[in-house]
């Protein structure tokens, strides 16, 4: 991943796994969401403040492409890497990876859309630059 990369360490708990001790596929989305949320926080932003602003702003997942490469297992420590790859008028594209050491477990490309009062809206000036670092 090139550019500014945010890293978040996450432990895999029993509740994240299926009966065999492997992370249930839908739970990877939760790990990736945490990575995107903490990327916002690291840039001095948070979902609650964006939504409380006038006009209110939400960043909603509009598209996600995900490749499951290897399983994470109960009690693993994994790292979520997140970076802004591109920005448009009303959306951001983020590339994310979930790693255990040097092993890439999951790769995802996520497009988040700026939404205000149920409609697409332009990203606030400078938001993408703040996230890209």
| Structural tokens at position 73 | 């297992």
Beta bridge partners of 120: 115
Say which of 16, 18, 102, 103 is annotated catalytic. Answer: 18
CB-based contact 88:121 (threshold 8 Å): no
70 Cβ neighbours under 8 A, 6+ residues apart = 100, 103, 104, 105
Active site residue 103: no
The residues assigned a catalytic role are 18
């Amino acid at each position: 991943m090139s550019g500014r990369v945010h890293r978040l360490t996450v432990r895999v708990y029993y509740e994240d796994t299926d009966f065999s001790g492997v992370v249930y596929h839908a739970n990877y989305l939760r790990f990736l969401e945490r990575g995107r949320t903490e990327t916002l926080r690291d840039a001095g932003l948070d979902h609650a403040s964006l939504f409380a602003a006038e006009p209110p702003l939400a960043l909603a997942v509009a598209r996600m492409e995900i490749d499951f490469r290897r399983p994470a297992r109960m009690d693993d420590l994994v790292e979520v890497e997140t970076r802004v790859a591109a920005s448009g008028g009303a959306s951001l594209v983020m590339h994310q990876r979930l790693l255990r050491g040097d092993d890439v477990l999951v790769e995802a490309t996520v497009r988040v859309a700026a939404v205000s009062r149920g409609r697409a809206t332009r990203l606030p000036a400078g938001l993408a630059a703040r996230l890209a670092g």
